[in-house]
Chains A and B, each alone.
Chain A
Amino acid sequence: MMRRRTRGQPDIDTGALAPLLEESQDLHSDSMTATSSSLAEMVELGQESRARGASDPDETEAFVAERNRLMPEAFGGKILAAAGAGTALTALMASKAFASSDTDIQMLQTAASIEVLAVATYQTALTLPFIGGASANGVVKAFAQMTMSQHTQHQQAFNAAITQLGGKQQTNPDPVLLKVVDAAKPGLTGPGPVVALALELEQGAAETYVANVGALSNANARAVTASIMGVEAQHAAILRAVQALLEGNAPQLIALPPSPLSSLPAAAGSVGFPAAFFPTNDARPATEGALS
């Protein structure tokens, strides 16, 4: 088994999973081509838009109305309940100052802030012995490593999109969710709480992007966001499956593939995709991670 160590990073086990990860990287390169194309188109459209002047007031008004409609539902999630951040952000969202700014850039900045936090959270998790250390499940460890890498790429994509639309890159974490993650850290004493925290972040990210896709005015910003939202949903699906197996006291079935498949209980077949239509109730407010 080959092992390499990177300064400041946990051990990376590149044994049996290496071929799969390599194959995944090849596939990823193909998908990046499509996203790069979207970003290039966004540059042109964004520059054209800015050449024409400020954002369309009707577009902004429609955006604010749409996100305000979603806002009450956005505070139904566990993370938001813990954060206790509702009324002030709702009011902020509806304020003239925010309504008159470039809402697409704000949504992209919030998305980037969520990605920054996700990267930091997985990085922290990987320092824990039961996630990234010697006692970790190999699949869980590889998943955390790969997912952190994917979130890094998402952050870069959102920030590239922001720059190309003339906005300022967001490199800080979502301030509301950061408090939640910080509060959760002392309780990360085993795989279960870590998976639960990661699931909350992934589900929240996916729901935010699904909501944003319906609200973004720039077609290519929408395309980039759409190319990421399903990936976060996939992270959530796998985490749900892992969570079910952990809670069912069957960590040995967390494997690629789970073996034997016949040992999986029937309900495990659908635990990863609980909804036929992806909800947006826990979507983050569009300006939560936006820069002023």
Chain B
Amino acid sequence: MNLRPTTGRDVLPVSEAEINRLTVELDELHHDESVPALRSSVQEWIEINHDRMRAGESSALPVAPLTSPMAGAISRRGLLIGTGAAAIGGLLLAACGSSAKSATTTTGAASQPSSPATLTGDLKVAALAASLENLAVYAYGAGIKAAQAGKLGSVPPAIVTFATTAMAQHTQHGAAWNAALTAAGKSRVTETDPALTPTVNQMFGQVTDVAGLAKLALELETIAGQTYQAGIAALSSSSAIKTAASIQPVEMQHAAILNLVLGNYPVPNAFNPTADARSTSDLGK
């Protein structure tokens, strides 16, 4: 299998305009449908918490003060940026890209500092998910920087598009979980999964070409898809389950395309396994 891109003047037989048209259509579909749907799930989660608080019930999902800016509604900007921050021992995302940097520099919520290790129930699953999304953003960001620096050889345009799009989607996934955390009065998780980060760093240190980067990305996407699979069974809140369910297939789609690029069969399993799922113990106890 030869994954190294050719450097010659290949004929570009595909109409870029045609595929761009498809991409624009699909992007419009995303903005019209999926983000509002996700916003609805997270908003529902917040409202459930508020209802429980009003009723004086103890809840597995601690709630945010009703005066919180997040209490009224979640905006698209809110989903993409979030508020507050928590440190869990992984890498700070500020180091790996402008969007991540903006996430760490935005403040203003009524959330109180909290360690993910002290969270319980659905909130701890949300923190784990956010930390995994952060790790994916970090890895793709580092890969893009390495490519831009010429450290991976010639990088095909489609691979660049894949990495930038996947990174943007992981950023949105992380922001969705952080929106739920801050709405519950907890700090946003801005660091990477502390248990997995050293391994990823070690693997990234050995990446010398596009194929190596794709293999690393495939590992992360597989872990994410399987962690969401396990998370769906562990979560108790219906709206949290819906959020996880809306993200898991997307991670698996990333994995399918990576398998295709690597020359592997793109849909290897009839059923998504959970053997590689991460545990909330990654966040400490």
**Interface residues in chain A, defined as those with a beta carbon under 8 Å from any beta carbon in chain B:** 17, 20-21, 23-24, 27-28, 30-35, 38, 66, 143, 146-147, 149-150, 153-154, 157, 206, 210, 213-214, 219, 222-223, 226-238, 240-241, 243-245, 247-250, 252-253, 256-281
CB neighbours of A143 from chain B (8 A): 266-267
A234 touches B176 (CB 8 A): no
A267 touches B161 (CB 8 A): yes
B268 touches A229 (CB 8 A): no
CB < 8 Å: which of B1, B159, B241 contacts A213?
B241
- Identify which of A32, A33, A153, A279 gathers the most chain B CB atoms within 10 Å of its CB: A279
A28 touches B158 (CB 8 A): no
> In B54-107, which residues have CB < 8 Å from any A CB?
none
- Over the window 3-41 of chain B, the binary record of Cβ atoms lying under 8 Å from chain A Cβ atoms (1 yes, 0 no) is 101110011111110111011001101100111011001
CA distance in complex: A272, B169 (Å): 13
CB < 8 Å: which of B20, B248, B254 contacts A267?
B20
Give min CB distance, B31 to chain A, whole Å.
Answer: 9
Among the listed stretches B124-132, B181-189, B199-207, B257-265, which one makes contact with chain A, having 4 or more residues with CB under 8 Å of it?
B257-265
A274 touches B29 (CB 8 A): yes
Known contacts: A210-B249, A263-B12. The answer to whether A277 contacts B37 by CB under 8 A is yes
CB neighbours of B41 from chain A (8 A): 214
A250 touches B13 (CB 8 A): yes
B266 touches A238 (CB 8 A): yes
Give min CB distance, B165 to chain A, whole Å.
Answer: 4
- Over the window 206-250 of chain B, the binary record of Cβ atoms lying under 8 Å from chain A Cβ atoms (1 yes, 0 no) is 000010000000000000010001001100001001100111111
- Over the window 153-190 of chain B, the binary record of Cβ atoms lying under 8 Å from chain A Cβ atoms (1 yes, 0 no) is 01011111111011011001100100000000000000
A262 touches B14 (CB 8 A): no
CB < 8 Å: which of B11, B15, B162 contacts A263?
B11
B13 touches A249 (CB 8 A): yes
CB neighbours of A206 from chain B (8 A): 249
Known contacts: A23-B265, A256-B265, A273-B250. The answer to whether A268 contacts B19 by CB under 8 A is yes
Give min CB distance, A200 to chain B, whole Å.
Answer: 14
By DSSP majority rule, is chain A's interface helix, strand, loop, or mixed? helix
The contact sample of 17 A-B pairs, CB cut-off 8 A, is A206-B249, A230-B272, A234-B255, A234-B267, A237-B253, A248-B14, A256-B265, A257-B261, A259-B2, A261-B158, A263-B11, A267-B23, A270-B166, A271-B23, A276-B30, A276-B34, A277-B38
Give min CB distance, B27 to chain A, whole Å.
Answer: 7
CB neighbours of A219 from chain B (8 A): 233
By DSSP majority rule, is chain B's interface helix, strand, loop, or mixed? helix
Could you say which interface size class chain B belongs to? 35 or more
CA distance in complex: A23, B269 (Å): 10
CA distance in complex: A179, B161 (Å): 38
B273 at the interface (CB under 8 A from A): yes
CA distance in complex: A278, B38 (Å): 8
CA distance in complex: A33, B272 (Å): 11
CB neighbours of A260 from chain B (8 A): 5-6, 10, 156
A231 touches B272 (CB 8 A): yes
Known contacts: A146-B265, A261-B158. The answer to whether A229 contacts B248 by CB under 8 A is yes
Known pairs A31-B270, A233-B250, A259-B2 / 9 extra A-B pairs, C-beta < 8 Å: A21-B265, A23-B265, A27-B273, A34-B275, A248-B13, A264-B158, A269-B159, A272-B256, A280-B37
CA distance in complex: A197, B19 (Å): 19
CB neighbours of A23 from chain B (8 A): 264-265, 268
A261 touches B261 (CB 8 A): yes
CB neighbours of A24 from chain B (8 A): 265, 267-269
- List the 5 shortest-distance A-B pairs measured between CB atoms, nearest first: A274-B26, A269-B161, A233-B249, A248-B14, A269-B162
CB neighbours of B246 from chain A (8 A): 210, 277-280
Which residue of chain A has the shortest Cβ distance to B38 in the bound complex?
A277
Known contacts: A31-B272, A213-B241, A233-B253. The answer to whether A238 contacts B267 by CB under 8 A is yes
CA distance in complex: A273, B169 (Å): 10
A273 touches B3 (CB 8 A): no
CB neighbours of B114 from chain A (8 A): none
CB < 8 Å: which of A226, A253, A258 contacts B248?
A226
CB neighbours of A210 from chain B (8 A): 245-246, 249
Give min CB distance, B220 to chain A, whole Å.
Answer: 15
CB neighbours of B225 from chain A (8 A): 230
Which residue of chain A has the shortest Cβ distance to B245 in the bound complex?
A213
B160 touches A269 (CB 8 A): yes
CB neighbours of A280 from chain B (8 A): 37, 246
CB < 8 Å: which of A27, A32, A256, A272 contacts B263?
A256
B279 at the interface (CB under 8 A from A): no
